[in-house]
Amino acid sequence: SANLMMHVVPESTRWNHIENLDDFFTRVYHYHQRGGFVCMMVSDVLQLIQFIFVVGFSTFLLECVNYDILFANSKNDTHKVTIPEAVAPFGQCVQEFDFGITACLLVAFAFWVFRLIKVLYNIFKYWEIRSFYLTALHITTTDLTNMTWHEVQRRLLEVQKEQQMCIHKQELTELDIYHRILRFKNYMIAMERKSLLPFKHSIPLMGECAFYSIGLKYNLDFLLFWGPWSPFENYWKLKDEFKIYHKRKQLAEELSKKILWIGIANFALSPLILLWQILYSFFRYADTLKREPSMLGSRRWSNYARLYLRHYNELDHEFDARLNRGYRLANKYMDIFTSQLIVILAKNVAFFAGSVLAVLVVLTVIDEDVLAVEHVLTTMTVAGLIVTACKVFIPDEHLVYCPEILMRNILAHVHYMPPDWSGNAHTSKVRNEFSIFFQYKVAYLFEELLSPLVTPIVLCFSLRHKSMEIVDFFRNFTVDVVGVGDVCSFAQLDVRKRDNKMDDRDEEEEPQPSLRTNMFTPDQSPSQEGKIQMSLMHFHLTNPEWKPPKECSLFINDIKEKANRNTTSLSIFNPVTQNMVMSSQGSLTGYLSGLQPSGAGALGYTSLASSIAIQSGMYPQSTQVSMAPSVSGVHHRLRGAISTAEGPLERSIGGPVGTMQGSTSMIGSGLGGYHSIGSSKPSVDEGSLELLSHDMSVSALYLHDLQSRKQRGQGQMGYENIEEMRARNLWQRQDSNQGPVHAGMPYIQEKREEEEKDSGNTETIAKSV
């Protein structure tokens, strides 16, 4: 038994008091997302091999191939050239290396050795995380592929109670784990919202554009977070001098010098980095470009968009899923903007190139010896590429022009949109601004190729002059959280606070953080375009078992209640959209659902579409009752084997599914009733958790409308005008025996009463806060 104790005790206490929980939780997260130990190890090893291949193969093509022999440039020699004749022997090839090639190979070898050491270190860490999954979380490699991060995180919280990975707190919360994983990412998001980082630039003839390449991102992370000269002492603690006001000038000067030296180092290494970028891009995209020339016309969310659109405390897989839901909608929006001149030219160029290609193909079918004619195969290839490229500029003839609807539904997924875009989505100005977020892939490749040259310029001439503001930012917007360390104050998701401008007072006069904050009610729009409120709603819906503070709960419940009551005001105000909703029967014609395939997402939108249709009066009273069974059926299909008594969807409805209350409350199904104190069973099943993204879409639309009305100065009257607009549409759908006075006026009166009630609720919340 003694031997047994010697074996068991270290295993049970192995995960007690982990010093660097930031790194540990991040590795636990990546282990789940990347598929386990074998997948991570194979991926890292193959990246090392890929680097050797790119360097070696490029050197071989440059120094070891005799292109005069390969292309048979000698007119006297007519025999067929073989590969051994065109390739020089290895020894002869090495002897011909000049100083430039030798220097590049030495630098590449040193970099590869550094990556090799890092990979070996990571493999040992992967093995450690594998042991943690097996012994502490009790998750095998087979089970890992069938588990969501939500389930892994739930077990992680249970392990904290048993083994005290963090000794500063008895229990950790979901927010604590997110803080650890996303500490530096939250700082980057906040600094972008404060316009501290020089991402946007005005270029002559091109207008405003954003530059945020992978190289620039790496340099910023190195300078501000994990480098030896960064403001952070370690992963979780900001250096004490950065918290002292009277040292700000000294720290700003030091940071400015460090940024300058890093910029100079980037400039010195730019030729090598540029050469690597060109070679890597060629080997990676050349074959894809040959097979799919239309790739140049496809789009992607830009790196800047991936920072601007991200919520505080939003993990990578959550963010990627949100952007992917909005991708097709964004693509359709950009496709509706076409230049008639370019379309005409593209059609004619495609006609000419296609004609040449068709003739050559026919001649080849008649006699394959045509391919032996010089440049025939090249001509066919180029003509095919031209035809494919021209198709990118020719719009679909069945494309429907509906920019406002598309932009509205893009907002439902990406959650952020400048207020002045509303009602102007059809203009080229909004289209150009949106293209900064949704760029061509060829523009992304061009940006990465230029990164070695542009990054030093940005560091030396733009970022360096922001050093004082960066120092002030870290001092004013860093809070120490027990069990977590120093985090960005915005990431606390405290809806009581507004981000105030940084002041330059003396240390004695500098107000305390609690005194620098202002209260606001849910109807007030804070700065940063409601970033904190939107992030709070998203985190709550992503982690429904998280228990927010009292003030945050009041805010969440108030938004839920108002979003449910005002669902009709969140849709597009015209009969065309309403008919679209009626005809879709669940997918909202692909717009609201993001053109998702059938499945859980489509079923979730079935309930959303039905509730919008019922509440807005699209169906008469008799139809509302007949619709209930189909909605109920959706619930049963989604829930599977879970009983209706214990599911969050049923609890949040507050009534039978077939009733009017049930259908309209389904939109806010994810906003309440999830806390399971003292219960071992999860309070929300994974299937229902996937559907909460639809609740977030409704909340995003509602919060955006609040902000838009405030910034445009519409206030209460603006909302009433919208409701009167809605009422006019309702009058047209009422029975002919029921006059418009009887149908429309009660609707307006009811909405005005609701607004008066909302104002009373707002005052109550402000007082309680």
For the stretch 134-155, pLDDT in tens is 999 999 989 998 999 999 999 9
Q: End-to-end distance of the chain based on CA atoms, in angstroms?
A: 58
Confidence of residue 461 (pLDDT cuts 50, 70, 90): very high
Asked if pLDDT for residue 83 goes beyond 90, the answer is no
Asked if pLDDT for residue 440 goes beyond 60, the answer is yes
**What per-residue confidence (pLDDT) applies to 570?**
59
Q: Percent of the chain scored above 90 by pLDDT?
A: 36
Range in 37-51, 229-243, 689-703, 734-748 with the lowest mean pLDDT: 734-748
How do residues 286-341 score in pLDDT, each as one tens digit?
777 766 766 777 899 999 999 999 999 999 999 999 999 999 999 999 988 888 89
Tally of CB atoms within 10 A around 279: 15
Give me the phi and psi of 444, to 5 degrees please.
-65, -45
CB 478 within 8 A of CB 487: yes
Range in 380-394, 460-474, 722-736 with the lowest mean pLDDT: 722-736
How do residues 695-731 score in pLDDT, each as one tens digit?
778 788 888 887 777 766 644 444 444 444 444 443 3
Asked if pLDDT for residue 29 goes beyond 90, the answer is yes
One-letter amino acid of 39: C
**What per-residue confidence (pLDDT) applies to 712?**
66
- The residue whose two tokens read 């440049």 is 375
Asked if pLDDT for residue 76 goes beyond 90, the answer is no
**What per-residue confidence (pLDDT) applies to 221?**
94
Q: What is the mean pLDDT of the chain?
A: 74
Measuring CA to CA, which residue among 577, 571, 542 is closest to residue 556?
A: 542
Q: Judging by DSSP bridges, how do beta strands 478-481 and 438-440 pair with one another? A: unpaired
Residues ≥6 apart with Cβ < 8 Å to 591: 329, 405, 406, 409, 580
Q: Percent of the chain scored above 70 by pLDDT?
A: 68
* Beta-strand runs (E) in 181-306: 200-203, 207-210, 299-301
pTM of the model: 0.75
Tally of CB atoms within 10 A around 337: 17
Summarize the confidence of residues 742-749 as an average pLDDT: 42
Asked if pLDDT for residue 585 goes beyond 70, the answer is no
Range in 63-77, 187-201, 419-433, 510-524 with the lowest mean pLDDT: 510-524
List for the chain the helix, strand, coil content (%; round to 5).
Answer: 70, 5, 30
Rounded Cα distance, 739 and 732, in Å: 10
Which two structure tokens, joined as six digits, stand for 69? 């022999």
Angle between the 99-135 and 248-291 helix axes, to the nearest 10 degrees?
100
Range in 3-7, 265-269, 588-592, 707-711 with the lowest mean pLDDT: 588-592
Confidence of residue 4 (pLDDT cuts 50, 70, 90): very low
Range in 1-5, 51-55, 310-314 with the lowest mean pLDDT: 1-5
How do residues 550-560 score in pLDDT, each as one tens digit?
888 888 888 88
Asked if pLDDT for residue 344 goes beyond 90, the answer is yes
One-letter amino acid of 298: S
**What per-residue confidence (pLDDT) applies to 75?**
61
Is the four-CA dihedral 709, 711, 715, 721 of positive or negative sign?
negative
CB 684 within 8 A of CB 151: no
Summarize the confidence of residues 646-666 as an average pLDDT: 34
Element (H, E) at 698: helix 686-712
Asked if pLDDT for residue 472 goes beyond 90, the answer is yes
- The residue whose two tokens read 């006069």 is 509
DSSP code of residue 619: S
Rounded Cα distance, 502 and 513, in Å: 11
Beta bridge partners of 488: 478
Asked if pLDDT for residue 357 goes beyond 50, the answer is yes
**3-state SS string over 415-451?**
CCCCHHHCCCCCCHHHHHHHHHHEEEHHHHHHHHHHH
DSSP code of residue 503: P
Residue count (the chain): 769
How do residues 673-699 score in pLDDT, each as one tens digit?
444 333 445 556 666 676 676 677 878
The 10 Å CB-count burial string (b at 16+, else e) for 225-247 is beeeebbbeebbebeeebeebeb
How do residues 402-422 score in pLDDT, each as one tens digit?
899 899 889 988 988 888 888
Q: Judging by DSSP bridges, how do beta strands 200-203 and 207-210 pair with one another? A: antiparallel
Measuring CA to CA, which residue among 570, 643, 575 is closest to residue 612?
A: 570
* Beta-strand runs (E) in 601-664: none
Rounded Cα distance, 658 and 761, in Å: 29
Better pLDDT: 589 or 121: 121
Asked if pLDDT for residue 734 goes beyond 50, the answer is no
How do residues 219-259 score in pLDDT, each as one tens digit?
999 999 988 889 999 889 999 999 999 999 999 999 999 99
**3-state SS string over 200-235?**
EEEECCCEEEECCCHHHHHHHHHHHHHCCCCCECCC
